[in-house]
Structure 1
């Protein structure tokens, strides 16, 4: 039989049992709608997570810290080796060259320090956009004379393009060094019942400035000192020995200390934002007061890592707890991370975490697809039932077709075509129904978020490949369901079929 004749005959047969075929098609549509709704939820949540992470700049970022921040991280501590070397040397009358070589080799194995030289070296790596430190410190904030304790975070100018500032009230910083501040909404509510009224007002940061000062020790030799020399500072030792004169402008590192000096800084409030980009990474918590990065560096505020450096004996040497390195694109992060590790620093990125996140979403999508396919499996049974009933009702018609010369293949194609048409119609209708379900759930979700004073978001994402895949899957399931009825119809004996009443 010709394809046109088969199609015309299939459409006529579907019209003759319109109610039953319509209910079967509706069952397919419900199954496809549940499948589309489930998978679009999984896709939407995955896109939402990826979009938030991508706009925050975490996918193209490498976090760098000194290996000294992780005791035993990739290197063995040399303290015990130095102690052993000292005991060995003390047993000899004179120090040997091998002892000196051992000390030098131990020094080479010490972890590198994150200082300005290391920062410049990182900035010259290929495909590096910027390198900046994490500056966070707890301070007292005064507004209208009322003191509040808050975490202050310094953010780079590149954060302007972060999605966190899309709905900012006010504006971003006018310059990287401006005496300006952006408040998080929750902290702004603590300062005033009407947060928008804070824009253009001043607040005062009372912070602790970290200063390096010169000290003297009685163990140092006083030979060559000039009494009362210009530009010198004389300190007396605690042991009552002769005083040590140091150059005040450049004291030796081992003779330095730090001093904490309270300072006040007046800032103009220029913006209020709901969230902070990459909140909590590398810091003690989310910054409630945001300031420009260069201003934060100029303040030299004491941070939590300063106490750790003092206990390690390196507190007077300028350095960073960690640095953030941004690459030109996420595809270059892995090579950049490897290069930084070869330089002797500890480095990590979110690439490994993002791979794990993708795996979790794939499993999540698989489970949603399985649950969504259950309704489609029920619809598949409906197709089998409909076509089997059609065989019983059309036995005489099938016998006439065979008597007129229709082959078994033609009969199979006829029933396959009827099943495929129901699958196509049901899949198309189901896709539209699934899209409506997603829109309705999204509208209800956004209504709830607005009542909670949260920004609206899309949790459903119906992509073109999901729509096309759902329709193709619906047709494939329908053809699979029509396999048994088509084979049964093709095997009918035309003589027995013509006798059937």
Structure 2
């Protein structure tokens, strides 16, 4: 008996007990569907995370900070390091730009600012923008107007949300308008080395009138800070001339103004995400501290793998139950068809033929259950994704595709269900092949 004849006979045998076959297949379908839904959720989260990080090229961005904070008084008794502390200045930025794979390096200053236009007042986040850095010009999708030109002064670029908050009905309506900015500058007197008392530290409120020359799209990533949607960009040279300082710079200024770095944060961009890890390691070897999402993404991927493995193991329990159902169904089939097995052996069928027949029956149950399980898992993921997005939208966030069913997952699910069914059919098939034909023919 060849494979085609065995397949035809296996289909006939399964159709003789439709209810039992359907229930056994349903068990495999539920187990496979649960596995597919869980793994689709894990793959979807991983894909969503990667896509959102790539959307604004944050995987190619490295934040570089000074080597180490200026020591506090309690730490000054510790021995000084053997090598001098590198300074984050123009020389360091020039070294960064010469690294292979680096396309730009520019300082970044962020500061709180109050924006006023007419009777509208909004708290926003100010950020420096280097007009000479061509790469940074592509980091903000331009909605209308333009970005800064070299030598720009008293100009500003705002986000679309900031324009709407200030009462402009269309982004283009904000172009050419003058905004009143209110912010703080910090300075420290004395100029001596060592930490200064708070009395030597002064904060002054400054006012500045700027003209809007461009409107950009705000960050729309799921992982972006909502306050960035109200961001206002100012030319880097103007920010440095005004003496605007971020929180890190204030801390350095309080500790030791004479040892502070000219820049507290430098943003380094690479051409590809694969270059970021290598460039980050090189910068760290120079003695600077770095923060990047490329290393965080690796940890996140490991987390997703562990999560999928844990949830998959729990879901595998249902497939194990289905496996026991296949064993039970096949053993009953062996007992019910003992006489048929005896006749087959009497007319010349070998043990291998009997074993193959029951293997094919188990494989058909597993394959059918796997295919139906993929469909069930896909439908379940659509329903769960719809319900979760309703909740997400109620919380004020934008909807997202939390499930993803790639082709490899479909193939793996069907193959796994089939292999599990074949493994479950091993004992019944072996038992059927070992039946004595004479004893089987006596069976009623």
Instruction: Name the TM-score, length of structure 2 as normaliser.
Output: 0.82
Where does 1:363-374 land on structure 2 (aligned, <5 Å)? 363-374=306-317
For the residue of structure 2 that corresponds to 1:39, the secondary structure is helix
2:223, 2:355 → 1: CA distance?
61
Preserved contact between residue 205 and residue 267 of structure 1 (Cα < 8 Å):
no
1:446 aligns with 2:389: yes
* Structure 2 counterpart of 1:467, from 399, 402, 410: 410
Preserved contact between residue 151 and residue 287 of structure 1 (Cα < 8 Å):
no
1:143, 1:130 → 2: CA distance?
34
Offset, 1:402: 0.7
* Structure 2 counterpart of 1:333, from 276, 300, 309: 276
Offset, 1:145: 3.7
Preserved contact between residue 387 and residue 482 of structure 1 (Cα < 8 Å):
yes
Where does 1:190-209 land on structure 2 (aligned, <5 Å)? 191=166, 196=169, 200-201=173-174, 202=177, 203-208=179-184
Offset, 1:372: 1.9
For the residue of structure 1 that corresponds to 2:318, the secondary structure is helix
Go from structure 1 to structure 2 and tell me whether the alpha carbon gap of 1:305 and 1:420 turns closer, same or farther (over 3 Å shift): closer
Preserved contact between residue 65 and residue 346 of structure 1 (Cα < 8 Å):
yes
Where does 1:161-240 land on structure 2 (aligned, <5 Å)? 170-171=143-144, 173-175=146-148, 179-183=155-159, 185=161, 191=166, 196=169, 200-201=173-174, 202=177, 203-208=179-184
Offset, 1:311: 3.5
Preserved contact between residue 135 and residue 296 of structure 1 (Cα < 8 Å):
no
Alignment length (residue pairs): 423
Preserved contact between residue 123 and residue 131 of structure 1 (Cα < 8 Å):
yes
1:31-72 deviation line (CA, Å, top 9, x unaligned): 111110010001111111122223333322322222242649
Q: Provide the residue aligned with 1:66 in structure 2.
A: 66
Q: Provide the residue aligned with 1:129 in structure 2.
A: 103
* Structure 2 counterpart of 1:425, from 368, 378, 384: 368
Query: What is the root-mean-square deviation in Å for CA atoms of aligned residues?
Result: 3.6
1:119 aligns with 2:63: no
2:107, 2:415 → 1: CA distance?
52
For the residue of structure 1 that corresponds to 2:157, the secondary structure is strand
1:190, 1:476 → 2: CA distance?
59
1:190-221 deviation line (CA, Å, top 9, x unaligned): 655xx7557623432123467999x999xxxx
Offset, 1:11: 1.2
For the residue of structure 2 that corresponds to 1:204, the secondary structure is strand
Go from structure 1 to structure 2 and tell me whether the alpha carbon gap of 1:80 and 1:461 turns closer, same or farther (over 3 Å shift): closer
Preserved contact between residue 103 and residue 135 of structure 2 (Cα < 8 Å):
no
Could you list the runs of 5+ residues in structure 2 that have no partner in the other structure? Answer: 193-200
1:148-173 deviation line (CA, Å, top 9, x unaligned): 443212356756766x96xx9x5485
Go from structure 1 to structure 2 and tell me whether the alpha carbon gap of 1:123 and 1:204 turns closer, same or farther (over 3 Å shift): same
1:107-143 deviation line (CA, Å, top 9, x unaligned): 9833122122222222122221111222111222212
Go from structure 1 to structure 2 and tell me whether the alpha carbon gap of 1:489 and 1:310 turns closer, same or farther (over 3 Å shift): closer
Preserved contact between residue 126 and residue 234 of structure 2 (Cα < 8 Å):
no
Go from structure 1 to structure 2 and tell me whether the alpha carbon gap of 1:322 and 1:384 turns closer, same or farther (over 3 Å shift): same
Instruction: Name the TM-score, length of structure 1 as normaliser.
Output: 0.74
Preserved contact between residue 218 and residue 229 of structure 2 (Cα < 8 Å):
no
Which sits farther off after the overlay, 446-455 or 428-437?
446-455
* Structure 2 counterpart of 1:289, from 225, 228, 231: 231
Q: Provide the residue aligned with 1:150 in structure 2.
A: 124
Q: Provide the residue aligned with 2:195 in structure 1.
A: none
* Structure 1 counterpart of 2:334, from 383, 386, 391: 391
Which sits farther off after the overlay, 267-276 or 38-47?
267-276
1:264 aligns with 2:208: yes
1:397, 1:276 → 2: CA distance?
65
Larger radius of gyration: 1
For the residue of structure 2 that corresponds to 1:347, the secondary structure is strand
Preserved contact between residue 210 and residue 302 of structure 1 (Cα < 8 Å):
yes
1:6, 1:277 → 2: CA distance?
55
